[in-house]
Structure 1
Amino acid sequence: MVRLTRAQQQERTRAAVLVAARREFAEYGYGEAKIDRIAERAELTRGAVYSNFAGKRALYLAVLADAVERARASAEPPPESPDSVARALGAFARVWLERLPLAGDTPGSGHLQLRSLSGVLDTEPARAALAELVCFEALLLALALEPDRAVRTRTVRLAGLALTLLHGAAALAENAPGVGDPFDLARAAEHLAAITLIDDAGPPHLPFVAPARTADDRWAAPRGLYDEINGRPVNLGDDGVVVVLGVGRLSAAGEAVRSARLRDEVTLVVVTSDPSETGRLARLRIVDLVACLRRVFAAGELPAPRVVFDDGGTVATAMGRDRVDDATEVAIRVRDGLIVARADGRGAGHAVAVAPSAPHKAVDTVDPPSATY
């Protein structure tokens, strides 16, 4: 008889709970699902379920996150990306709309297939986090639509419109399965590219953001982190900008990305004070989007900024930040293994992105920012 280690036993228990929970949610939906029945399905005690998941909401988010992780792992990139923004939007919409339930699906299974959050996010922090995540998703989609240039605010707004169209179709399909032709919706997404949108001046607070503080500190870059977009290990010692953002500040990612220099390696580190729920929500939404992007865009044309989940807050700790929460925004510029600039608070990513790339260097005229607002 093979004796399992504690970690192996916990992983087996967690997997059994996820399988049982998926069946429970598919049959009863989120609202009517019961932890007791999930424990019974898994042939475990109620306590065993709660030892792995904080509650029903955390468990539901874990079920969805597990599904999108599998989808990402199986996503096959095309040999080449679409040759226009319009075609890319249409291709993305077709992939995304595969989740729409059919008329014969049960409500519970349809909700799971849609990654539905209806009735799940019933707290203000969770709803605020979702709003920030939608902004972040629009940025990532925009970066894929314009891989060869600094992303424009117009393209981010266009990506946001496309996501609004798709999520609106999902909300309708949740209550009226079979309504709405996916092919018509995909064509509508293509036509969004022709909408006239302006490149606005950007967030009004940026001119008032305090400059980054000059530094000359050795950077002990944490290891064991992975880029959620391409799946490769992340070396935070690379020259560039590292921005740690709480889930409640993810919309600030665009400020850092658009202000960074063309040769900068930009790493966006996502943190939260509640990994079991808010953290799983962030993982669910970001990984789901990445799974779709991987099926539309060639591997070399996925969004360039690296996205890292840091549930333990190790990156912020290495920067000297004792604790993180959903409002965290702290950033550094790294050059030759040194931290050469630091900033924290609102606009920190932007401040570090426009900071000189070497200690005590007043002006960097050779390597200008990649874009301005």
Structure 2
Amino acid sequence: MVRLTRAQQQERTRAAVLVAALREFAEYGYGEAKIDRIAERAELTRGAVYSNFTGKRALYLAVLADTAERARDSAESPVESPGSVAGALGAFARVWLERLPLAGDTPASGHLQLRSLSGVVDTDAARAALAELVGFEALLLALALEPRSAVRTRTVRQAGLVLTLLHGAAGLAENAPGAGDPFDVARAAEHLAGIALLHDAEPSHLPFVGPARSAEDRWAAPRGLRDEVGGRRVDLGEDGVVVVLGVRRLSAADEALRSALPRDAVTLVIVTSDPSEIGRLARLRVADLVGCLRRVFPAGDLPRLRVVFDDGGTVASALDWNSVDDFTEVAVRVRDGLIVARADGRGAGHAVAGAPSRPH
């Protein structure tokens, strides 16, 4: 008989709870699901469920995130690029719209298929985090649409409009399954590539951001981190810019990318003080978006921004920043194994990305 380690047993318990929870949510929906029934389905105690998940909301988000991550990891990238921005937006929309429930689906199963957050995101903190995540999704889509260009406000806003259209279609399908034609929605997404948009000025606070502080510090870059976009291991010790952002400051990723040099490797490390709920919400939205991108764009056209989740705050700690929350903003520039520039607070990524690449 093989004896499992404590970590192996905990992982097995967690997997059993997720399988049981998926069945419970598919049958009863989020509102009517019960932790006691989930424990019974998994042949575990109620305490065993709560030892792995803080509550029903955390468990529901974990089920959705697990589903999205498995779909992302199994997605096969095409060999050729979609060609035009319009063609790419249409292809992306068609892939995204595959989640729409059919008229014969039960409401509970349809909500799961839609990755629905109705009745789940019901706190001010979660709603604010979701708003930042929606903007971050638009940035990732824009980076894939123009992989060899600098970040353009117009493209980010186009991507945001497409995502608004798709989420609107999902909201309709959630309440009236079978209503509307997804092929018409996909064609509308293509046409958004040509929409005229007013020019946006840079964020108003950037002119007041101070310069990064010069440094010449060696650091032990945390290992074992994984890029959620490309799926590869991340070496934070290589030359480039590392930006640690709380979930409610994800809009600052755009600022850092615009200021970075074309050759810079930019790594975004996402942190939160609430990994069980806000953290899982972030994992869900990023994995879901990246899963669609991988099916539309060749691997070489995926966003160049590397995205890492750091629930334990190990990266921030290695940077001597020991208090992380949803508003954290810390950044460094790395060169030849040294941290050559540091900044923290609002605009930190922008300041460090624009800092000299060598110590003074």
Task: Please name the residue that 1:88 is paired with.
Answer: 88
- Deviations 1:283-321, CA, capped at 9 Å, x for gaps: 000010000000000011100010000111111011110
Q: Which amino acid aligns with 1:117?
A: L
Distance 2:73 2:242 in 1: 26
The equivalent of 2:328 in structure 1 is: 328
TM superposition shift of 1:219: 2.4
Is 1:352 aligned to residue 327 of structure 2?
no
Q: Which stretch has the larger CA shift, 187-196 or 9-18?
A: 9-18
Secondary structure, aligned partner of 1:358: coil
Counterpart residue number, 1:163: 163
Q: Deviations over 1:126-165 (max 9, x none)?
A: 1100000001100000000000110201000000000000
What secondary structure sits across from 1:323 in the alignment?
A: coil
| Aligned counterparts of 2:141 and 2:106: Cα–Cα separation in 1 | 31
Mapped to 2, the partners of 1:126 and 1:221 lie a distance apart of 31
Question: 1:73 & 1:349 partners in 2: Cα distance?
Answer: 29
Look up the match of 1:10: 10
Structure 1 position 199, deviation (Å): 3.6
SS at match of 1:268: strand
3-state SS of paired residue (2:322): coil
Alpha-carbon distance, 1:8 to partner: 1.6
Distance in 2 separating the partners of 1:30 and 1:81:
39
In structure 2, distance between residues paired with 1:25 and 1:156:
34
Give the residue type in structure 1 aligned to 2:301. E
What does 1:139-150 correspond to in 2, within 5 Å? 139-150=139-150
Runs of at least 4 residues off by over 4 Å: none
Shift of 1:53: 0.4
Alignment-mate amino acid for residue 135 of structure 1: G
Number of paired residues? 360
2:100 corresponds in structure 1 to 100
Give the match's secondary structure for 1:321: coil
Stretches of structure 2 that go unaligned for 5 or more consecutive residues are none
Measure the CA separation in 2 of the matches of 1:16 and 1:217.
45
SS of residue in 1 equivalent to 2:331? strand
* Alpha-carbon separation, structure 2, partners of 1:43 and 1:359: 59
How is 1:1-373 mapped onto 2 (pairs within 5 angstroms)? 1-360=1-360
Deviations 1:90-143 (A, max 9, x none): 000000000000001111100000000000011110110000000110000000
Per-residue deviation at 1:198? Answer: 3.5
**Stretch of structure 1 that moved more, 62-71 or 7-16:** 7-16
After superposition, the CA RMSD in angstroms is 0.7
Give me the whole-angstrom Cα distance separating, in 1, the residues matched to 2:351 and 2:82. 34
Deviates more, 1:10-19 or 1:288-297: 10-19
- Work out whether residues 152 and 199 of structure 1, in 8 Å CA contact, stay in contact via their aligned partners in 2: no
SS of 2:250's partner is helix
Asked whether the equivalents of residues 29 and 109 of structure 1 are also in contact (C-alpha less than 8 Å), the reply is yes
User: What is the percent sequence identity of the aligned residues?
Assistant: 83
The separation in 2 between residues aligned to 1:66 and 1:350, in whole angstroms, is: 33
